Structure 1
Protein backbone atom coordinates (compact mmCIF):
# COMPACT_ATOMS: atom_id res chain seq x y z
CA UNK A 1 0.00 0.00 0.00
CA UNK A 2 1.37 3.41 -1.00
CA UNK A 3 -0.87 5.47 1.28
CA UNK A 4 -3.57 5.03 3.90
CA UNK A 5 -6.58 6.04 1.76
CA UNK A 6 -9.58 3.69 1.80
CA UNK A 7 -12.07 3.28 -1.03
CA UNK A 8 -15.31 1.31 -1.12
CA UNK A 9 -15.49 1.47 -4.92
CA UNK A 10 -12.75 -0.19 -7.00
CA UNK A 11 -13.05 2.46 -9.71
CA UNK A 12 -12.27 5.25 -7.23
CA UNK A 13 -9.26 3.28 -5.98
CA UNK A 14 -8.07 2.87 -9.57
CA UNK A 15 -8.40 6.62 -10.18
CA UNK A 16 -6.57 7.39 -6.94
CA UNK A 17 -3.72 4.98 -7.74
CA UNK A 18 -2.94 7.10 -10.80
CA UNK A 19 -1.74 9.84 -8.44
CA UNK A 20 0.98 7.39 -7.35
CA UNK A 21 1.77 5.83 -10.73
CA UNK A 22 1.48 8.96 -12.86
CA UNK A 23 -0.67 7.06 -15.36
CA UNK A 24 -2.63 9.41 -17.65
CA UNK A 25 -4.63 7.27 -20.08
CA UNK A 26 -7.02 10.00 -21.28
CA UNK A 27 -5.40 11.96 -24.10
CA UNK A 28 -6.71 15.11 -25.78
CA UNK A 29 -7.26 14.50 -29.49
CA UNK A 30 -6.48 18.15 -30.24
CA UNK A 31 -3.15 18.71 -28.45
CA UNK A 32 -2.18 15.29 -27.02
CA UNK A 33 -2.15 16.56 -23.42
CA UNK A 34 -2.93 13.60 -21.13
CA UNK A 35 -5.10 13.33 -18.03
CA UNK A 36 -5.61 10.78 -15.27
CA UNK A 37 -9.40 11.24 -15.17
CA UNK A 38 -11.95 11.43 -18.00
CA UNK A 39 -13.68 14.45 -16.44
CA UNK A 40 -10.43 16.40 -16.45
CA UNK A 41 -10.04 15.66 -20.17
CA UNK A 42 -13.61 16.83 -20.91
CA UNK A 43 -13.05 20.03 -18.92
CA UNK A 44 -9.81 20.66 -20.85
CA UNK A 45 -11.28 20.04 -24.31
CA UNK A 46 -13.55 23.10 -24.16
CA UNK A 47 -10.34 25.12 -24.62
CA UNK A 48 -10.26 23.73 -28.16
CA UNK A 49 -13.98 23.44 -28.95
CA UNK A 50 -15.15 26.73 -27.48
CA UNK A 51 -18.20 24.92 -26.08
CA UNK A 52 -20.04 26.85 -23.35
CA UNK A 53 -22.84 24.61 -22.08
CA UNK A 54 -23.52 26.47 -18.81
CA UNK A 55 -25.92 29.40 -19.20
CA UNK A 56 -26.77 32.13 -16.69
CA UNK A 57 -30.54 32.29 -16.21
CA UNK A 58 -30.29 35.99 -15.30
CA UNK A 59 -28.52 37.38 -18.36
CA UNK A 60 -27.95 34.48 -20.83
CA UNK A 61 -24.14 34.64 -20.64
CA UNK A 62 -22.60 31.22 -21.23
CA UNK A 63 -19.59 29.56 -19.60
CA UNK A 64 -17.33 26.63 -20.39
CA UNK A 65 -17.24 25.42 -16.78
CA UNK A 66 -19.94 25.18 -14.13
CA UNK A 67 -17.64 26.73 -11.54
CA UNK A 68 -17.30 29.85 -13.73
CA UNK A 69 -21.09 30.10 -13.92
CA UNK A 70 -21.37 29.83 -10.14
CA UNK A 71 -18.92 32.69 -9.69
CA UNK A 72 -20.79 34.78 -12.26
CA UNK A 73 -24.20 34.19 -10.65
CA UNK A 74 -22.87 35.74 -7.44
CA UNK A 75 -22.63 39.01 -9.37
CA UNK A 76 -26.44 39.00 -9.71
CA UNK A 77 -27.12 38.11 -6.10
CA UNK A 78 -27.94 40.51 -3.32
CA UNK A 79 -25.09 39.02 -1.28
CA UNK A 80 -22.34 41.49 -1.98
CA UNK A 81 -20.12 40.84 0.99
CA UNK A 82 -16.79 42.50 0.18
CA UNK A 83 -16.90 46.13 1.33
CA UNK A 84 -14.23 48.68 0.45
CA UNK A 85 -12.76 50.33 3.54
CA UNK A 86 -12.06 53.51 1.56
CA UNK A 87 -15.50 54.17 0.06
CA UNK A 88 -19.10 52.86 0.14
CA UNK A 89 -18.70 50.32 -2.68
CA UNK A 90 -19.50 46.67 -2.01
CA UNK A 91 -18.48 43.78 -4.25
CA UNK A 92 -19.63 40.20 -4.79
CA UNK A 93 -16.10 38.89 -5.42
CA UNK A 94 -12.97 39.45 -3.34
CA UNK A 95 -10.86 39.78 -6.50
CA UNK A 96 -13.06 42.62 -7.74
CA UNK A 97 -12.54 44.45 -4.45
CA UNK A 98 -8.76 43.90 -4.69
CA UNK A 99 -8.76 45.30 -8.23
CA UNK A 100 -10.87 48.28 -7.09
CA UNK A 101 -8.43 49.08 -4.27
CA UNK A 102 -5.45 49.09 -6.65
Structure 2
Protein backbone atom coordinates (compact mmCIF):
# COMPACT_ATOMS: atom_id res chain seq x y z
CA UNK A 1 0.00 0.00 0.00
CA UNK A 2 1.36 3.42 -0.98
CA UNK A 3 0.72 6.21 1.53
CA UNK A 4 1.93 9.77 1.95
CA UNK A 5 2.88 10.88 5.43
CA UNK A 6 2.58 14.60 6.18
CA UNK A 7 4.15 16.43 9.11
CA UNK A 8 2.65 19.86 9.73
CA UNK A 9 5.05 22.05 11.66
CA UNK A 10 5.14 25.69 12.59
CA UNK A 11 7.81 26.50 9.98
CA UNK A 12 7.74 23.59 7.53
CA UNK A 13 5.62 20.84 6.07
CA UNK A 14 7.43 17.58 5.42
CA UNK A 15 5.94 14.93 3.16
CA UNK A 16 7.10 11.47 2.25
CA UNK A 17 5.69 8.75 0.03
CA UNK A 18 5.98 5.27 1.52
CA UNK A 19 5.61 1.75 0.21
CA UNK A 20 5.22 -0.14 3.45
CA UNK A 21 8.24 0.87 5.53
CA UNK A 22 10.28 2.03 2.54
CA UNK A 23 10.58 5.79 1.98
CA UNK A 24 10.22 6.57 -1.73
CA UNK A 25 10.47 10.37 -1.65
CA UNK A 26 10.83 13.31 0.71
CA UNK A 27 9.60 16.89 0.20
CA UNK A 28 9.79 19.98 2.42
CA UNK A 29 7.71 23.15 1.93
CA UNK A 30 7.32 26.21 4.16
CA UNK A 31 4.22 26.35 6.35
CA UNK A 32 1.98 29.22 5.26
CA UNK A 33 1.24 31.91 7.84
CA UNK A 34 -2.06 32.97 6.21
CA UNK A 35 -4.26 30.52 8.12
CA UNK A 36 -6.10 27.24 7.72
CA UNK A 37 -7.10 27.26 4.05
CA UNK A 38 -3.55 28.09 2.98
CA UNK A 39 -2.26 25.27 5.18
CA UNK A 40 -4.62 22.79 3.49
CA UNK A 41 -3.45 23.92 0.05
CA UNK A 42 0.19 23.56 1.10
CA UNK A 43 -0.41 20.08 2.58
CA UNK A 44 -2.11 18.97 -0.66
CA UNK A 45 0.77 20.42 -2.69
CA UNK A 46 3.34 18.63 -0.52
CA UNK A 47 1.50 15.31 -0.94
CA UNK A 48 1.32 15.80 -4.72
CA UNK A 49 5.03 16.66 -4.95
CA UNK A 50 5.96 13.60 -2.86
CA UNK A 51 3.88 11.41 -5.19
CA UNK A 52 5.40 12.98 -8.30
CA UNK A 53 8.94 12.56 -6.99
CA UNK A 54 8.28 8.88 -6.23
CA UNK A 55 6.26 8.25 -9.40
CA UNK A 56 3.31 6.84 -7.43
CA UNK A 57 -0.28 7.65 -6.46
CA UNK A 58 -1.01 7.20 -2.76
CA UNK A 59 -4.09 5.35 -1.56
CA UNK A 60 -4.24 7.35 1.68
CA UNK A 61 -2.61 10.15 3.64
CA UNK A 62 -1.41 10.29 7.23
CA UNK A 63 -0.98 13.57 9.10
CA UNK A 64 0.86 14.68 12.20
CA UNK A 65 -0.07 18.09 13.61
CA UNK A 66 1.09 20.38 16.42
CA UNK A 67 -1.29 20.98 19.28
CA UNK A 68 -4.30 18.87 20.26
CA UNK A 69 -6.09 16.90 17.54
CA UNK A 70 -9.52 15.34 17.93
CA UNK A 71 -8.68 12.15 16.05
CA UNK A 72 -12.26 10.84 15.90
CA UNK A 73 -13.60 14.08 14.43
CA UNK A 74 -10.48 14.92 12.39
CA UNK A 75 -10.34 18.39 13.91
CA UNK A 76 -7.26 20.33 15.02
CA UNK A 77 -8.39 21.98 18.26
CA UNK A 78 -5.63 24.60 18.07
CA UNK A 79 -2.03 25.02 17.05
CA UNK A 80 0.35 27.04 19.17
CA UNK A 81 2.37 28.33 16.22
CA UNK A 82 0.10 28.46 13.14
CA UNK A 83 -2.42 31.30 13.08
CA UNK A 84 -6.00 30.64 12.01
CA UNK A 85 -6.05 26.95 12.92
CA UNK A 86 -8.53 26.52 15.77
CA UNK A 87 -11.32 23.89 15.76
CA UNK A 88 -10.23 23.31 12.18
CA UNK A 89 -11.74 20.33 10.25
CA UNK A 90 -8.43 19.24 8.74
CA UNK A 91 -9.46 15.70 7.79
CA UNK A 92 -12.50 16.75 5.77
CA UNK A 93 -10.71 19.64 4.06
CA UNK A 94 -7.61 17.57 3.22
CA UNK A 95 -9.76 14.73 1.86
CA UNK A 96 -11.63 17.23 -0.32
CA UNK A 97 -8.38 18.82 -1.54
CA UNK A 98 -6.66 15.52 -2.41
CA UNK A 99 -9.47 13.05 -3.08
CA UNK A 100 -7.97 10.58 -0.62
CA UNK A 101 -8.67 9.57 2.96
Interval of TM-score (by shorter of Structure 1 and Structure 2): under 0.3
Give the structure with the larger helix fraction: 1
TM normalised by structure 1 equals 0.20
TM normalised by structure 2 equals 0.20
Give the structure with the larger strand fraction: 2
Larger RCO: Structure 1 or Structure 2 (Cα < 8 Å, ≥ 6 residues apart)?
2
Structure with higher Rg: it is 1
